[in-house]
A and B are shown apart, each in its own frame.
Chain A
Amino acid sequence: MKITEQEVRRVADLANLALRDDEVARMALDLDGILTHIDKLNELETSNVEPMAQVLFDAEETATLREDQERPTLTNAEAVGNAAVTSGGYYKVPRVIER
């Protein structure tokens, strides 16, 4: 196995997913299969290859700059309109620290 259930639990923790026990077992199997296929990349010699993070095109350095002018933004009601719980125009979340 390339990945253990213990590792799956650690990764689920990083990803903020509360996986059930049956999901952990299934996930370990699925990820193992995918990671085994991914091993194929080790056949490639890539030490002198520049990584490609983005499909980039030539653009002027200032292409994404704009004048610093006021422009309309979302209203407060629009910005919080899709939140599950709000209060006084703010997003409301459960307590962060348990006492």
Chain B
Amino acid sequence: MSSPLHELSIDSIRAGLLAKKFSAEELARQSLAFAETENPKTNAYLTLSPERALAAARAVDAKIAGGEDPGALAGVPIAVKDVIVTRGLRTTCGSKLLANYVPPYDATAVIRLEQAGGVIIGKTNCDEFAMGSSNENSAFGPVRNPVALDRVPGGSSGGSAAVVAQGTALVSLGSDTGGSIRQPASFCGISGVTPTYGRVSRYGLTAFASSLDHIGPFGKTTRDAARLLEVIAGHDKMDATSASAPVPGYTAALDGNVKGMKLGLPREYFDGLASETGDLVMAAVDALKKLGCEVRDIQLPHTPYAVAAYYIIATAEASANLARFDGVRYTTRSASAGTLSDMYRQTREEGFGDECKRRIMLGTYVLSAGYYDAYYLKAQKTRRLITQDFEQAFEQVDAILAPVSPFPAFKLGEKVKDPISMYLSDIYTITGSLAGIPCMSVPCGLTAQGLPVGLQILTRHFNETTMFRIADAYEKASN
């Protein structure tokens, strides 16, 4: 059985619906059926939502029958990472603590994509509370990479990347704090976008590290990812950090012309790279040169300090954000509770997995009395230096090209015993997260073993358009 979405895009689904070639309900039923047969292979969905999907699809069909505009995402089967809340639809965050949590409200991004005619077909597996780089930290079992089932799909948005790669959803929403969209996109061979911080409302995204958290889209193509971002981006009064800058039409700018664009290569990003990964990234750089881009070397000298700064800031914020999971309001509660204090301690001990506990502990430690200046303040200052590196680089170039991950998808179990080497592998994605700039992964070929590699493109704050234009031109030229 092949994917019913195999040859479709957001635009071609809309055109097919308007031309009455198929109905949204037919497409939703086919996608749900395909997801049911495929999911046992990958464990990418935690919950399928047939009722919600069919209701949304019928509403699109009714609009078309009545001559109304069915919306920019009309009939598009979409999957949503399970850290993003959906009213009446179980949202677990990949955690045993929230195994039965049914949110009473929808995230803003979810409201917007459904208002545009999008059809949510399910919630995707992820690392517990989005903490991980391999999707092996889910309480509901790891996700397998549809490209090579003995390998990880990347993390933390592994499920959202896997469903697009396997064709059970056309596009999906993920969340990115230090690389959790770009790295799985590169491992699964699809496009994944981390927009500017504040570009998409975080309302309804379960908080991991609030100053670093983003919601962003995955798509088979850059155009589909850009189209989805157009719908979900924009100011939201429910999120005080949401940006008020107007959202340009990203897809309207995708003309394939990147002539004269200045691209920077940070030398610091090419040390310690698996050689095949480096070769594929450099081949993509050459392809962009052939399209008329000017490529020059740049420096981002504070890159070697990014992982240290990130794991202080992210865990400090996480230790505060995860304090709310205490057995009172949302979560399961330990049965062995005596006093209130025992109940908190036992509930959290039994409910959180190892990685969450490790990060809560590190975050609590760096914020504890006597350590604040040495760790948290130092990390915030380092974050400023890393951001200034980018500001200086963008005085010389329009965009930066880099690898996404030092290596392609690795085997399940290969790295679980060594949390530090897992943290260090986030080096190329963490810098952009700390600066809050737009960055994405676009597929740039396969290794000899057939494993996908991603090219990372980073641009100035709110300049998603330039990033999409480069990715789209490269995609068109390489196909």
Q: What is the interface of chain A, defined by CB distance below 8 A to chain B? A: 3, 7-8, 11-12, 14-20, 23, 27, 30-31, 33-35, 37-38, 40-44, 46, 49-55, 57, 59, 63-64, 66, 74, 78-79, 81-85, 91, 93-98
Contact = CB atoms under 8 A, between A and B. Distances in A.
Interface residues of B, number: 72
Interface stretch (B22-30, B353-361, B395-403, B441-449): B353-361
Contacts of B329: 82-83, 91
18 contacts: A16-B341, A17-B352, A20-B349, A34-B420, A37-B308, A41-B379, A44-B382, A44-B385, A50-B381, A51-B380, A52-B381, A52-B387, A55-B435, A83-B330, A91-B328, A94-B338, A96-B340, A98-B338
Given A11-B368, A17-B352, A46-B378, A30 B358 contact: yes
A19 to B, nearest CB: 7
B253 interface: no
A17 B362 contact: no
A96 to B, nearest CB: 5
Contact of B361 (A31, A50, A98): A31
Contacts, number: 162
Most buried by B among A3, A33, A43, A94: A94
Contact of A55 (B211, B337, B375): B211
Given A37-B307, A41-B379, A94-B340, 19 more contacts: A11-B364, A16-B326, A17-B348, A17-B352, A17-B357, A18-B342, A31-B365, A33-B419, A38-B375, A49-B385, A51-B380, A52-B383, A59-B244, A81-B104, A83-B329, A84-B333, A93-B343, A95-B339, A96-B340
A80 B189 CA distance: 42
B270 interface: no
B198 interface: yes
A85 B96 CA distance: 17
A84 B98 CA distance: 11
Contacts of B197: 55
A50 B382 CA distance: 9
B309 interface: yes
Contacts of B331: 84
Most buried by A among B308, B387, B420: B308
B244 A38 contact: no
A25 B360 CA distance: 16
Given A59-B244, A98-B339, A40 B304 contact: yes
B333 A19 contact: no
B259 interface: no
A82 B330 contact: yes
Q: Which 10 A-B pairs have the closest CB atoms?
A: A55-B436, A51-B380, A84-B333, A18-B345, A46-B381, A78-B104, A52-B384, A55-B197, A49-B381, A18-B349
B19 interface: no
Contacts of B381: 44, 46, 49-52
Contact of A17 (B342, B343, B345): B345
A54 B357 contact: no
A57 B360 contact: no
B52 interface: no
Most buried by A among B338, B362, B419: B362
A84 B361 contact: no
B245 A40 contact: no
